[in-house]
Amino acid sequence: MGSGKMADFDYDLRQQSIDFQISLISNQSNVLIISPNHDQFTKKLKDEKCTVEIAQINTDKKIMQAFDFKNIENRKFQIILLDNTIDYVPNPVKFIKEINSFLAPGGSLICRAYNIFNAINRIRILNGDIQLINSIFKNRNMAFSSLDSILLTLSEAELSITRLLRVEKEISLTSKLDLNTFTLTEELLKIITADSESKTFYYVFAISNTPTVSLSTRKWSSSFSKYLVTAGFKKVLTDYKLSYEKHINYLKQT
């Protein structure tokens, strides 16, 4: 795709990201936005009659992202909306623990992380080991013994984030429509569904494709999410797996 089309795609993807995050928030919710992109959410949330508070950015500290919570004090919020802030704070684990104190019982933390979780997921797909995982976090003051410990640390298990910690990554790529593509997606599916009894998280990839100008090439869009495991979500995963397999089989026949 040309740069113009890619820019359009990135813009559309961003708008979808914003709309999707807002769709997770019920009308009239009490929302704390911790993101420099708060202006992209505020009006839409107020249109949904939500009460919105914005964490102030502390510009005095020369670090990637610093927030000042003096205006928040000891208040509790039904929703904490991070957007992709977690990608830019110096220590994401410490940051998550800090902001959990603002989350009301039964509240939700909505988080979108591009860099961190995509790197972890790539390593998992490539069967990377602990040393590789730790190397990613070497300059972020983080060290973990395994992928599960990363997820558990960020979520503080089910006690800390009582409803949902959602992390998504969208990727767009253009590839020849050949067997290698299908082999890759089938391997992804195996990885996703293999840990069916996990007490931590499921990864779900949604793979879609769009024909390009060349009939032999398709644009693939991929996204993944992680959810706290619930009985209801296990059913969703099963349904997803069945529909995904049908989708892949259909594409193989076209």
Question: Per-residue pLDDT tens for 208-224?
Answer: 444 445 544 444 444 44
3-state helix, strand, coil in the chain (%, to 5): 45, 25, 30
pLDDT for 19-28, tens place per residue?
Answer: 877 887 888 9
pLDDT at 40 over 80: yes
Q: How many Å apart are CA 118 and CA 200, to the nearest integer?
A: 18
Task: Find how far residue 58's CA is from the centre of its chain.
Answer: 25
What is residue 101's predicted lDDT score, i.e. its pLDDT?
83
What is residue 51's predicted lDDT score, i.e. its pLDDT?
94
Edge-first strand order for the sheet with 51-54 is 51-54, 30-33, 77-83, 103-111, 165-166
3-state DSSP assignment of residue 216: coil
pLDDT for 138-190, tens place per residue?
Answer: 433 333 333 333 343 333 323 332 222 333 333 333 333 333 333 434 444 44
CATH number of the domain within which 81 lies: 3.40.50
Q: Confidence class of residue 71 from pLDDT cuts 50, 70 and 90?
A: confident
Show Cβ contacts of residue 248 under 8 Å, excluding neighbours closer than 6 positions.
182, 185, 186, 189
What is residue 20's predicted lDDT score, i.e. its pLDDT?
74
- Cα dihedral angle (107, 32, 22, 93), rounded to 10 degrees? -70
* 134 and 211 co-located in one domain: no
Show Cβ contacts of residue 144 under 8 Å, excluding neighbours closer than 6 positions.
130, 133, 134, 137, 150, 153
Give the domain range for residue 236: 170-253
User: For residue 231, what are its two tokens?
Assistant: 């009985």
Of 166, 185, 217, at which residue does a domain stop?
166
Of 129, 147, 166, at which residue does a domain stop?
166
What is residue 11's predicted lDDT score, i.e. its pLDDT?
64
Listed range (30-39, 44-53, 102-111, 241-250) with the worst mean pLDDT: 241-250
pLDDT for 187-244, tens place per residue?
Answer: 444 444 444 443 333 333 333 444 445 544 444 444 444 433 344 434 444 444 454 4
Taking Cα atoms as reference points, which of 225, 241, 152 lies closest to residue 193? 241
User: For residue 185, what are its two tokens?
Assistant: 């997606």
What is residue 46's predicted lDDT score, i.e. its pLDDT?
92
Which long-range contacts (C-beta less than 8 Å, at least 24 apart) are formed by 179-182? Answer: 181/220, 182/248, 182/251, 182/252
* 39 and 86 co-located in one domain: yes
* 143 and 161 co-located in one domain: yes
3-state DSSP assignment of residue 162: coil
Listed range (46-55, 69-78, 144-153) with the worst mean pLDDT: 144-153
What is residue 42's predicted lDDT score, i.e. its pLDDT?
93
* 139 and 198 co-located in one domain: no
**Residue count of the chain:** 254
Across the chain, mean pLDDT equals 56
* 244 and 138 co-located in one domain: no
* 61 and 130 co-located in one domain: yes
What is residue 126's predicted lDDT score, i.e. its pLDDT?
34
Q: How many Å apart are CA 30 and CA 50, to the nearest integer?
A: 6
Of 111, 141, 166, at which residue does a domain stop?
166
* Sign of the torsion angle spanned by Cα atoms 116, 146, 224, 229: negative
* Sign of the torsion angle spanned by Cα atoms 30, 25, 229, 93: negative
Q: Confidence class of residue 29 from pLDDT cuts 50, 70 and 90?
A: very high
Work out whether strand 30-33 and strand 77-83 pair parallel, antiparallel, or are unpaired. Answer: parallel
* 114 and 13 co-located in one domain: yes
What is residue 87's predicted lDDT score, i.e. its pLDDT?
67
* 156 and 74 co-located in one domain: yes
What is residue 49's predicted lDDT score, i.e. its pLDDT?
93
Q: What's the total number of domains in the chain?
A: 2
* 147 and 245 co-located in one domain: no
User: For residue 146, what are its two tokens?
Assistant: 């395994």
Q: What is the DSSP letter of 217?
A: E
Q: Confidence class of residue 93 from pLDDT cuts 50, 70 and 90?
A: low
Report the percent of the chain where pLDDT is more than 90: 9
* 204 and 78 co-located in one domain: no
* 34 and 145 co-located in one domain: yes
* 175 and 110 co-located in one domain: no
Q: Confidence class of residue 103 from pLDDT cuts 50, 70 and 90?
A: confident
